Structure 1
Amino acid sequence: MALGSDRSDEIEENLCEFSKEIYGECGILITNEPAETVREYVEKTTCKDYARMKSIVTETITIPAGIVSFGSERDCQPVPRTMEIFFKKLEVPVVVENNVLCLLEDYTICKIGDSLSENQANVLVRICYMKHFC
């Protein structure tokens, strides 16, 4: 670890103690700004990332039956029929009717408390890419 894993290789005194608390994907921000200023900045610039496989689901997400579409309520667009293969590979029950992609029944991608499978995570990534379904 760059900060040092024990006293013999730390770059500054006691940094090895700090490095023991760092794990996973993280970063270190060093600044002379007050803590509240940093918190406000982080809250304003934080964005959601898409779910990853084995993540624990925090909300139930269901695609409603009917034409699969995305965008805002004002600018709702049908998902291109070329996406049929993608959704079928992910085991989403879609059909093409009148040249648009449709679900014959509501499809629950994941339920609160589930651990995401690879397929569920891939469907959620696509939803994030397309913004949301309308």
Structure 2
Amino acid sequence: MPRSKRDKKVYLTKTTKKGLSLKQRIVEDVRNCVEKFDSLYVFKYRDIRNSHLKGVRNEWENSKLHFGKNKVVAVSLGRTEKDEIEDNIHKITRFIKGPCGLLFTNCKREEVVDWFENFSVADFARSGFKVDKTITLSEGPLSQFSHSMEPYLRKLGLPTKLERGIVTLIKDYVVCKEGDALTPEQAKLLELLGHKMATFRFKLRAVWSKPGNFERLSKKDDQDDVDIEDEEMEEGNE
């Protein structure tokens, strides 16, 4: 009887006992998911939030979402044809890099692609986020803030004072300019002002499905994809 591709040992070197236990659980979980589900999708994400992610997990409760430990996941699946646990599954591991996640599912491909293309949630930007528009406040009262907020607003950089108990901007103020990488103070001001400038969304990168079908789903639109394409070219020239 031929030996199953999944019956492979994974060597996790340079690992503490506690870390080794965690990595072994990841390997076992990933391999169980490959056996249980028909398809595996790799997706990248931006501006992820735990609160939104909880809702996503609820929507895919009959599937399995996996985040983190990219190298361990890649090793679990097999990064080469020799090491892979299923036919052609090693091809998807080169997309498991950077901010990405995995979806193991039995849903039809059309359903998966449609959901990912249409899912997005607006949220407040964090420090370091590059904004795509300029936000300016005009001189005058900021009635949305209570008088007790005035010292905190000044601490964040707003030129304010109290006039008859009302927080008042004493001159026009540019909160952020298009192209700025937000400072922590700018990010907090935008949140207090109610400006949601970030968008939590996913983008499908590649899919593997039984029995051994692989397809790349995203075009060359970011640095990770450029690196992947360069690797493919280099391998083809060897």
RMSD, aligned CA:
2.8
Note if 1:95 corresponds to 2:182. no
Rounded Cα–Cα distance in structure 1 between residues aligned with 2:85 and 2:152: 50
Q: Does residue 4 of structure 1 match 2:70? A: no
Within 1, Cα distance between the matches of 2:188 and 2:145?
16
1:127 aligns with 2:193: yes
State the shift of 1:45 in Å. Answer: 4.8
User: Contact between 1:3 and 1:16, CA under 8 Å: does it hold in 2?
Assistant: no
Counterpart AA for 1:80 = S
Runs of at least 5 residues in structure 2 that lack an aligned partner in the other structure: 1-69, 197-238
Larger-gyration structure (1/2)? 2
Q: Which has the higher helix share?
A: 2
How far is the alpha carbon of 1:25 from its aligned partner? 3.6
What TM-score do the two structures reach when normalised by structure 1? 0.69
> What one-letter code is carried by the residue in structure 1 that aligns with 2:142?
V
Give the counterpart letter for 1:124 in structure 2: L
Partner of 1:72: none
Secondary structure of the equivalent of 2:123? coil
Q: How do 1:45-60 and structure 2 match up within 5 A?
A: 45-60=119-134
For structure 1, which runs of at least 5 residues remain unmatched after alignment? Answer: 70-77
Judged with a 3 Å threshold, the aligned counterparts in structure 2 of structure 1 residues 94 and 14 are, in CA distance, closer, same or farther, namely farther
Distance change in 2, residues 1:3/1:96 (3 Å): same
Identical amino acids, percent of aligned pairs: 33
Kindly indicate whether the alpha-carbon contact (under 8 Å) linking 1:55 and 1:116 is maintained by their aligned counterparts in 2: yes
- Equivalent pairs, count: 121
Cα displacement (A) at 1:117:
1.6
Contact kept? 2:74, 2:96, Cα under 8 Å: no
TM-score with structure 2 setting the length: 0.43
Cross-structure match for 2:13: none
Q: Aligned partner of 2:151: which letter?
A: I
Distance 1:117 1:81 in 2: 25
Give, in angstroms, the shift of residue 64 of structure 1.
2.1
- Are the equivalent residues in 2 in contact too, given 1:53–1:118 (CA < 8 A)? yes
- Listed as ranges, the matches of 1:1-134 within 5 Å are 1=70, 3-5=73-75, 6-7=79-80, 12-31=86-105, 32-35=107-110, 37-38=111-112, 41-42=115-116, 45-69=119-143, 78-128=144-194
Moved over 6 A (4+): none
Contact 1:3–1:11 under 8 Å retained in 2: no
User: How many Å separate the matches in 1 of 2:179 and 2:189?
Assistant: 17
| Partner SS, residue 150 of structure 2 | helix
More strand, by proportion: 2
Amino acid of the structure 2 residue aligned with 1:59: K
Deviation for aligned residue 1:28: 3.1
Q: Say if 1:3 and 1:10, in contact at 8 Å, map to a contact too.
A: no
| Alpha-carbon distance change, 99 to 30 in structure 1, aligned in 2, over 3 angstroms | same
SS at structure 2 position matched to 1:108? strand
